[in-house]
Amino acid sequence: EAGVAQSPRYKIIEKRQSVAFWCNPISGHATLYWYQQILGQGPKLLIQFQNNGVVDDSQLPKDRFSAERLKGVDSTLKIQPAKLEDSAVYLCASSPSRGYTFGSGTRLTVV
Amino acid sequence: DQQVKQNSPSLSVQEGRISILNCDYTNSMFDYFLWYKKYPAEGPTFLISISSIKDKNEDGRFTVFLNKSAKHLSLHIVPSQPGDSAVYFCAAWDNAGNMLTFGGGTRLMVKP
């Protein structure tokens, strides 16, 4: 079974620039999650999709973050404009039921 | 409000000895608990889980204990190996929200 694919692996941008991350979940997993993990902290949920519908985006900073999951498969997470405090690892996970499979993450550095 | 807490940010253990990682939670709606292990530059990988109807689950060198009355769980690694050095996250499944809530992680260092 192929895992959760994420790209890019690393990204360095200047503050106020925009950036996008891509995630391809495990085939057949209806639920997809984006998490933000700041160094030294646990992953924090940003948004949860069930198929292509949003289930929970209460912790997504909607003034600068957006996410979509077209056709209930791949998902993109965008930040525009980026701030220094957005420097973190962005993890995508998919799940058939309880428990997740994570991708390798995208490490974002905002300078 | 942190619903899942790992109060020890780091733990150092000698190879061959037992590692005990602790986790506390506050939400009574959590009914399934997981431990994830994370190496640098990789995503967290699932290690072991336990349902709230059990108090112990064992898988090789890894055992998770759950004390529901104390809202506490622990992960025991016996014997610890240098390859176990990683960050360990405790996570709790909220059936109502259909999502995981993570603790802040504990960095385990196993010294040869």
Contacts of B10 in chain A (CB under 8 A): none
pLDDT at residue A57, as a whole number: 94
B93, B32 Cβ separation under 8 angstroms: yes
Residue A84 confidence (pLDDT) above 70: yes
A99, B49 Cβ separation under 8 angstroms: yes
Question: For B45-69, what is each residue's pLDDT tens digit?
Answer: 999 999 999 999 999 999 999 999 9
Out of B41, B49, B102, the one facing A42 most closely (by C-beta) is: B102
- Give A84's strand partners: none
Angle at A76 between CA A11 and CA A46, to 5 degrees: 85
Q: Which of B6, B38, B59 is most worth mutating to test chain A (most A CB atoms within 10 A of its CB)?
A: B38
Neighbours of B41 (CB within 10 A): 11
**Radius of gyration of chain B from Cα atoms?**
13
Establish if B40 touches chain A: CB-CB under 8 angstroms: no
Angle at A33 between CA B4 and CA A77, to 5 degrees: 125
Percent of chain A with pLDDT over 90: 79
Distance from CA of A34 to the nearest CA of B (A): 11
- Residue A1 banded pLDDT, cuts 50, 70, 90: low
Residue that has been written with the tokens 């058939």 in this structure: A96
Minimal-distance CA residue of chain A relative to B98:
A98
Distance from CA of A15 to the nearest CA of B (A): 23
Mean pLDDT, all residues of chain A = 93
pLDDT at residue B99, as a whole number: 82
- Taking CB atoms and an 8 Å limit, are B41 and A104 in contact across chains? yes
Residue A52 confidence (pLDDT) above 90: no
User: For residues B96 and A14, which has the higher predicted lDDT (pLDDT)?
Assistant: A14
Residue A97 confidence (pLDDT) above 80: no
Establish if B98 touches chain A: CB-CB under 8 angstroms: yes
Percent of chain B with pLDDT over 90: 86
Distance from CA of B27 to the nearest CA of A (A): 16
